[in-house]
């Protein structure tokens, strides 16, 4: 009953307002409903499978891609969407494109260009693993809101301090960005232009005062925590445990990936 | 019984200079008291001393008859709900619901009891529909209300509001004023805004340079032009 009222209230406000980060895609798919720590564990298991697959086993990478495609399908995410989000990996894998040219001998001729055999293998290996890894991460981010990912991490026994630091970072990134924005405006209205050596000095002092402001805010936040009874341990107010069925549903696909990796090593 | 009783309170900055000097007063249950004073008068220091975040160099603070010291600070501060001037400092959990639950959860409330406390507090400030939202997506007025819910969930005997009007537009300010008028708790209002104090309080404590220069009816302060100017209140 309470749940129904809650959903009604939730649908009354616009969906974009509700969601805590831009990577999340609103939905009610089985992948969305899975407890977050199961999803985080699934991501980890899948990645372990991908990185331990020998690079010569092309078929195994095909199988990993198929696993990812099934998972994306379950999450009701489309191929164009996935590809668009995965473009984020481009800057990181760019250097892989140089490996065939710079790698050691022996070399082979492809269309009249001499390429390093080892470099080609290296490039393929980086590209394939990074693409699969990015795809899986995009899937997690699209089906899980940031607060849930944080809860998931702490349920997986990631040290509370680390989870708290990650949480504070997410929470205060916008606040700090706003502060930086105001400082830049204040500099601009007094004729500041981002050029020359003077600009560098001004930017350094902006960075310095941003640090001091962040530090002072940290002190105020700590005081606000202490007055509400904080004694060094972050409470986990509403943790609901995952049932066995959640685990088997969530880990089914990643375990296929691990099986593929094991087979690829043995064959 | 006095909710708060302060006797001969002195607080010193690390250099030895007094931020508060020989401050004494008591606040009874149900009272609505404005804490006035210019910038740097010691208002925030006083408030943090009441909650045992700062420990005095001399004098005592008693909350509901118990003396505030290192040993009892944790148990006593739950009776005083402090709402900070900048809600961003106070709303640090990922969602509104988690944030409101932070206080009671620290005091061992859990399960259905915790859910009930959170629901009650959010309903009290008309913010039930904000439960799942992230604090940084709320408007100024919404943030302020949620911050109030965060301390109401601890069921405090008194609310201490530090400049509740800051960052609010007139409509947001009216909402908060109406809400505060409606709450049954003892109220300590820290503010520069005399009109807000006039709407919410009938008694005033005036601090200037760390000393208590007035403790009595707020009207006496408001009607004394020379006093207002002398203590930089107007």
What is the per-residue pLDDT across B27-75, written as a single tens digit (0 to 9) for each?
999 999 999 999 989 999 999 999 999 999 999 999 999 999 999 999 9
Tell me if ipTM is over 0.90.
Answer: no
pLDDT in tens, A76-116: 999 999 999 998 888 888 888 888 888 787 888 778 788 88
Cβ of B154 and A229 within 8 Å?
Answer: yes
**Distance set, CA A93 to CA A55, A257, B68 (Å):** 16, 22, 59
Residue ranges of domains in chain A: 21-155+240-266, 160-227
Chain A residues touching B90 at Cβ < 8 A:
221, 224
* Span B1-79+157-234 CATH architecture: 3-Layer(aba) Sandwich (3.40)
Q: What's the gap in Å between the CA of A141 and the closest CA on chain B?
A: 16
pLDDT in tens, B173-224: 999 999 999 999 999 999 999 999 999 999 999 999 999 999 999 999 999 9
**What chain A residue is nearest to B119 in terms of C-alpha separation?**
A2
**Per-residue confidence (pLDDT) for residue A16, from 0 to 100:** 37
Q: Which residue has the tokens 């007035």?
A: B214
Checking if the pLDDT of B24 tops 70, the result is yes
Higher pLDDT, B45 or A202: B45
Query: Which is nearest to A236 in space by CA: B6, B206, B108, B130?
Result: B108
Instruction: Please tell me the distance from the alpha carbon of residue A153 to that of residue A163, in angstroms, as a whole number.
Output: 7
Mean pLDDT of A196-212: 83
Tell me the pLDDT band of B167, cut-offs 50, 70 and 90. confident
**Residues 71-100 (B) with a CB less than 8 A from some CB of A:** 74, 77-78, 80, 82, 84, 86, 88-90, 92-95, 97-98
Cβ of A171 and B136 within 8 Å?
Answer: yes
Chain A residues touching B107 at Cβ < 8 A:
229
How many Cβ pairs within 8 Å bridge chains A and B?
102
**Per-residue confidence (pLDDT) for residue A28, from 0 to 100:** 84
Cβ of B102 and A146 within 8 Å?
Answer: no
Instruction: Please tell me the distance from the alpha carbon of residue B208 to that of residue B206, in angstroms, as a whole number.
Output: 7
pLDDT in tens, A166-201: 888 888 888 888 888 888 888 888 877 777 777 788
Chain B residues touching A150 at Cβ < 8 A:
94
Instruction: Please tell me the distance from the alpha carbon of residue B48 to that of residue B175, in angstroms, as a whole number.
Output: 26
Checking if the pLDDT of B11 tops 90, the result is yes
Question: Prior bond to A106 cis, omega within 30?
Answer: yes
């Amino acid at each position: 009953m309470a749940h129904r009222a809650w959903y009604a209230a939730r649908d009354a406000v616009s969906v974009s307002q509700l969601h805590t980060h831009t990577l999340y895609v609103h939905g009610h798919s089985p992948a969305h409903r899975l407890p977050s720590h199961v999803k985080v564990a699934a991501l980890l298991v899948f990645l372990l499978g991908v990185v331990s697959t020998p690079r010569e086993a092309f078929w195994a990478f095909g199988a990993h891609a198929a696993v990812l495609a099934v998972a994306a399908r379950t999450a009701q995410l489309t191929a164009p969407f996935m590809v668009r989000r995965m473009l984020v990996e481009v800057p990181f894998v760019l250097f892989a494109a140089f490996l065939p040219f710079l790698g050691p001998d022996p070399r082979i001729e492809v269309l009249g260009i001499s390429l390093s055999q080892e470099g080609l293998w290296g490039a393929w290996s980086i590209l394939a693993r990074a693409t699969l890894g990015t795809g899986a991460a995009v899937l997690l981010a699209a089906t899980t809101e940031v607060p849930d990912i944080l809860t998931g991490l702490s349920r997986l026994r990631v040290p509370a301090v680390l989870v708290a630091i990650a949480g504070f970072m997410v929470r205060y990134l916008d606040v700090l960005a706003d502060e930086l924005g105001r400082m830049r405006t204040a500099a601009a209205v007094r004729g500041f232009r981002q050029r020359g050596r003077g600009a560098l000095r001004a930017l350094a002092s902006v960075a310095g005062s941003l640090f001091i402001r962040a530090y002072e805010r940290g002190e105020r936040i700590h005081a606000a925590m202490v007055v509400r009874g904080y004694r060094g341990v972050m409470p986990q107010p509403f943790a609901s445990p995952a049932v066995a069925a959640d685990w088997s549903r969530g880990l089914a696909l990643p375990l296929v990936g691990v099986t593929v990796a094991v087979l690829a090593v043995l064959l | 019984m006095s909710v708060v009783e302060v006797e001969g309170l002195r607080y010193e900055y690390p250099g030895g200079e007094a931020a508060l000097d020989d401050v004494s007063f008591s606040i009874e249950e149900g009272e609505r008291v404005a804490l006035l004073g210019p910038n740097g008068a010691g208002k925030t220091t006083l408030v943090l001393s009441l909650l045992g975040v700062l420990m005095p160099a001399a004098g005592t603070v008693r909350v509901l008859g118990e003396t505030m010291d290192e040993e009892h600070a944790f148990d006593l501060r739950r009776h005083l709900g402090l709402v900070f001037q900048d809600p961003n400092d106070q709303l640090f959990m990922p969602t509104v619901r988690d944030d409101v639950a932070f206080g009671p959860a620290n005091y061992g409330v859990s399960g259905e009891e915790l859910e009930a406390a959170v629901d009650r507090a959010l309903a009290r400030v008309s913010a039930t529909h904000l439960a799942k939202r992230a604090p940084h997506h709320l408007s100024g007025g919404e943030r302020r209300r949620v911050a109030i819910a965060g301390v109401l969930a601890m069921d405090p005997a008194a609310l201490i509001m530090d400049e509740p009007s800051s960052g609010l537009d007139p409509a947001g300010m009216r909402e908060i004023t109406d809400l505060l008028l409606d709450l049954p708790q003892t109220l300590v209002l820290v503010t520069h805004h005399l009109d807000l104090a006039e709407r919410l309080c009938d008694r005033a404590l005036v601090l200037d340079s760390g000393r208590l220069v007035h403790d009595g009816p707020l009207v006496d302060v408001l009607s004394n032009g020379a006093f207002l100017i002398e203590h930089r209140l107007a």
